[in-house]
Chain A
Amino acid sequence: MNEQNQMLIGIPASPGIAIGRAYIFNRRFGTVHQWNISADQVEVEIERFKKAAAEALEDLTVLQKRIAVDINEEAAQIFRSHQAIIEDPEVVDVTMVRIRREQKNAESIFDDVMQGWITNYSAIQNPFFRERTADFEDIQYRVLSKLTGEAHLQIGTSDQPVIIVAHSLSPSDTAEIDRESVCGFITDVGGQTSHTAIVARGLAVPAVVGIEKATQKITDGMMMILDGNAGLIYLDPDEPTIKRYKETQLQLSALEHKLQELHDLPAITKDGRGIELSANIELPEEVDDVLSHGADGIGLYRTEFLYLLRHGLPSEEEQYQTYKSIAERVAPKLIIVRTLDLGADKMPTHVSHEPNPALGLRGIRFCLNRPEMFKVQLRAILRASIGGNLRIMFPMISGLKELRHAKALLEEAKQDLIREGIPFDRSVSVGIMIEVPSAALMARDLAREVDFFSIGTNDLIQYTIAVDRGNANVSSLYDPCHPAILRFIASIVEAGHENDIWVGVCGAMAAHPIAACILLGLGLDELSVSPVDIPEIKRIIRSATYKDFRILAQHVLTLPTSDEIIKYMKAHLPTDRAILP
């Protein structure tokens, strides 16, 4: 364990370098020591327990206030329930009674009381209730760390930003993380397009995911270097390594600074073809990043967060307020709101588990299956469209039948609003994600019935090559430059343009320098990437003529393997080579 410079290899999920200490997130508390206390120590021990509980309650009040502002009141409620547990007589009074009776230290008794509840809950049949054990473990950990006073880095109060190390990060974990105090993320599971990766890129925090057993190999407080570009972690690095990385860090920040200068320049090729360069977001607070990185708008607003950060469904009013505030903040720039795309790797708490979620009830299928829930969202989005800069997009459409069904529900929602005299943008544009191979093949027919296409490359690649991007055993097959993918995209663009609708790409592929050049050459009208990737992609767009990109793209469409495609692109790229990997 003390061996210096031990290296762990993972999947690079968000670029950048972080140097800092590890913070093991959400782990089960280590060993809770038990010892006997004398009769005259009992009252002291009880006081110590009361003080720890009071401190935990206070922390939760602070956390609640912050989340009410950063996310919403509903999410803050979760932590109010945590407080109710720390005040529960069956937890608090029982602990104090047992300290007195058994004459043992507070942490061992409290741990045993909580463990007893957790064991009982684990036996509950209903998964919705059983899952609450994660909340109980969270509370157990919070109070125990107060009691032991163990070097427990409080995220949010530590002086130095920490590198979060977790098995995986859930939305509520993410909600709790104060971005000012976090300089990196490491997780045991996940791939380049996993939830953690998306959030990390959105927050511009370096991340490496898919390091098997990272939470066991890394100890709390351990010094680390996280290289988010290469996907490497150095444990307990020696001085020369730290020095080398500090230099790289400086170079990267200089490059970032230079890219920032592109902020106010348009995303336009040397021969004047304008590209809509927009950003993907999932949290309302990312709007600031969108604007500060010089995006032309929001090409993909993922609405899942509203549904994941809670125990019930979000109300129409809550959704409306969230959508409206984002639309107003980016206006007059455009925002494309994607309707709920739950399923697969997102694992919501209130949906039953399926043996093969990627091919299961997800995206539009899930919504069409729950029309009442879906219509609440459609009404909220329509109402938020009143400013005229909002577009609606349906995910996971596999053919015309689903599209027509979704549009019929949208029409019903519109008619209801008209009847109720509630205003909305009557000419709101409606588009679809093209991410299922069947939709890609049907693009010509689909194009006649929508206003735009946005190609979701993450899923299109996964479904076309039949590779689970989150599975480390096969993730190397996940290849944005696979000739089948490029040919698919070329035919989708052609189908869209024949019908006079614009075609965009939202997905990690648009942020890959080589792939972005090919996409530009294939005639895409829009590229939507993480806010942090905007300056670099803008620089690529501005570095050559559309004609140059077009010639390259036409040639690579004839090449049979991605190795040949990448080799050809590297040899012939018209853009500044310095930006290429």
Chain B
Amino acid sequence: MLEQTVTILNKSGLHMRPAERLVHLASRFQAEITLIKDDLPINGKSIMGILMLAAEHGSTLTIRADGVDEQEALQALVDLFEHPLGEQE
């Protein structure tokens, strides 16, 4: 099991469009993906769960990957967070 903490960089937070992209990416891996914010863990492959975090710009959350491809999964997800999600400009 691997974990890493990331900061939300995109301006309007984890709203619908970036959440959809995140789910799309997470679903490509077999590993179980969990996002944790303020002690609330949610399924990283669930858009409803991600939206429920109401993660605003500047907030931090922990990504946890657990499974055969956990290393690749965590790396890919962290990369996505480091480049503002779903905003073209």
Contacts and interface: CB of A to CB of B under 8 A. Distances in A.
B15 A90 contact: no
A236 B4 CA distance: 63
Contacts of B88: 315
Given A89-B45, A312-B11, A126 B16 contact: no
A179 B37 CA distance: 44
Contact of B12 (A81, A121, A311, A315): A311
Interface in B11-56: 11-13, 15-17, 19-20, 23-24, 43, 45-49, 51-52, 54, 56
A311 B15 contact: yes
Given A135-B16, A311-B15, A312-B12, A84 B56 contact: no
Nearest to A91: B48
B12 A126 contact: no
Contact of A88 (B12, B46, B56, B89): B46
B51 A129 contact: yes
Interface in A164-193: none
A132 B47 CA distance: 12
B35 to A, nearest CB: 12
Contacts of A117: 48, 52
Interface residues of B, number: 23
A90 B56 contact: no
A80 B51 contact: no
Nearest to A113: B48
A350 B43 CA distance: 27
A81 B87 contact: no
Contact of A350 (B12, B19, B51): B12
Given A88-B48, A90-B46, A121-B52, A128 B16 contact: no
Interface in A218-237: none
A551 B45 CA distance: 73
A126 B9 CA distance: 17
A128 B52 contact: no
A125 interface: yes
Residue in B15, B16, B19, B88 with the greatest tally of chain A CB atoms within 10 Å: B16
B17 to A, nearest CB: 6
A89 B45 CA distance: 7
A315 B87 CA distance: 9
Interface string B45-89: 111110110101000000000000000000000000000000111
Given A88-B47, A89-B43, A126 B20 contact: no
A77 interface: yes
A311 B51 contact: no
Contact of B13 (A78, A81, A88, A128): A128
B45 to A, nearest CB: 6
A377 to B, nearest CB: 13
Given A117-B48, A315-B89, A84 B15 contact: no
A85 interface: yes
A117 B49 CA distance: 9
Given A89-B43, A90-B43, A312 B54 contact: no
Given A128-B15, A311-B17, A312-B12, A84 B54 contact: no
Contacts of A88: 23, 45-49
Contact of A125 (B11, B20, B45, B54): B54
Residue in A81, A117, A126, A132 with the greatest tally of chain B CB atoms within 10 Å: A81
B54 A129 contact: yes
A321 interface: no
Contact of B16 (A81, A125, A350): A81
Nearest to A116: B48
A34 B89 CA distance: 48
Given A81-B17, A89-B43, A90-B43, A128 B12 contact: yes
B51 A132 contact: yes
Nearest to A92: B46
A479 to B, nearest CB: 42
A124 interface: yes
Contacts of A292: none
Residue in B13, B20, B51, B89 with the greatest tally of chain A CB atoms within 10 Å: B51
Contacts of A128: 12-13, 15
Interface in A127-157: 128-129, 132, 135-136
Contacts of A80: 20
Contacts of B87: 312
A120 interface: yes
B23 A311 contact: no
B71 to A, nearest CB: 23
Contact of A129 (B15, B20, B49): B15
A432 B51 CA distance: 41
Contacts of A121: 51-52
Contact of B48 (A85, A311, A315): A85
B54 A126 contact: yes
Given A81-B20, A132-B15, 12 more contacts: A77-B17, A81-B16, A81-B17, A81-B19, A84-B19, A88-B46, A117-B48, A120-B52, A124-B52, A126-B54, A129-B13, A315-B88
The 6 A-B residue pairs whose C-beta atoms are closest, nearest first, are A90-B46, A129-B54, A81-B16, A84-B20, A84-B47, A81-B20
8 contacts: A84-B20, A88-B48, A91-B46, A121-B51, A121-B52, A126-B56, A129-B54, A350-B12
Interface of A: 77-78, 80-81, 84-85, 88-91, 117, 120-121, 124-126, 128-129, 132, 135-136, 311-312, 315, 350
Interface of B: 11-13, 15-17, 19-20, 23-24, 43, 45-49, 51-52, 54, 56, 87-89
